Amino acid sequence: MTSWRSRREPPSELDAFTALHHGRLVGTLWLYCGDRDLAEELAQETLVRVCRDWEQVSRMAAPGAWAHRVAINLANSHFRRRGAARRAFAKVQADALDAHLDPDTAAGVAVRRAIARLNPKQRSVVVLRYYADLPLQDIADSLGLSLSAVKSLHHRATKALQSALGEHTPGPGIDEENLHVH
């Protein structure tokens, strides 16, 4: 019997999707949750759901946006189950910001701390826009918000980040290089 790994076939559409989105999901969730291990776990659960529902997901206009919505929803559910979601999230964020597995630049640490101070909706929009590189309409779809609400959240979050970061923020936007967590 030949295992599926030993076949010499090109990757399936599902294989290609998971290969493309796994790292993005982990990075998005790490920034959103502040805990790399939790991010890995939630990304895996997201991809399990993608695989389970692949027949429907593959026909969607933006399957990547759907996967990010599932990931964010799983993260929110995780914190709700823990009871005191705000206290639990603050502790996880504080622990993650203090424990640096890789050498970080001061600007990278400052950006992640500023993102952690945003309210959850603003943080979702910023992470999905600048880390996951989703268009505003996909963010609106993935969060179940109107495009105008996402634009407003994006504007307020960007202003808050610019205010918090001062000279760490180049030009009118966010230093995207420092949003990427490796």
* 7 assigned to some structural domain: no
Which residues span the domain enclosing 50? Answer: 13-179
pLDDT of residue 27: 94
Nearest to 131 by CA among 51, 42, 64: 64
* 5 assigned to some structural domain: no
* 57 assigned to some structural domain: yes
Residue showing tokens 């998971």: 18
Q: In CATH, what number is assigned to the domain containing residue 157?
A: 1.20.140.160
* 3 assigned to some structural domain: no
| Chain segment 47-62, per-residue pLDDT in tens | 999 999 999 999 999 9
* 8 assigned to some structural domain: no
pTM of the model: 0.56
How many residues make up the chain in this entry? 182
Question: Which tokens hold the place of 19?
Answer: 């290969």
Distance CA 110, CA 135 (A): 25
The C-alpha torsion from 157 through 41 and 54 to 59, rounded to 10°, is: 10
pLDDT for residue 162 is more than 70: yes
* 113 assigned to some structural domain: yes
| Chain segment 83-99, per-residue pLDDT in tens | 544 554 566 566 666 55
* 135 assigned to some structural domain: yes
Q: Residues 6 or more apart from 64 whose CB is under 8 A from it?
A: 17, 20, 21, 24, 132, 134, 138
Residues 43-47 have a mean pLDDT of: 96
Tally of domains within the chain? 1
* 115 assigned to some structural domain: yes
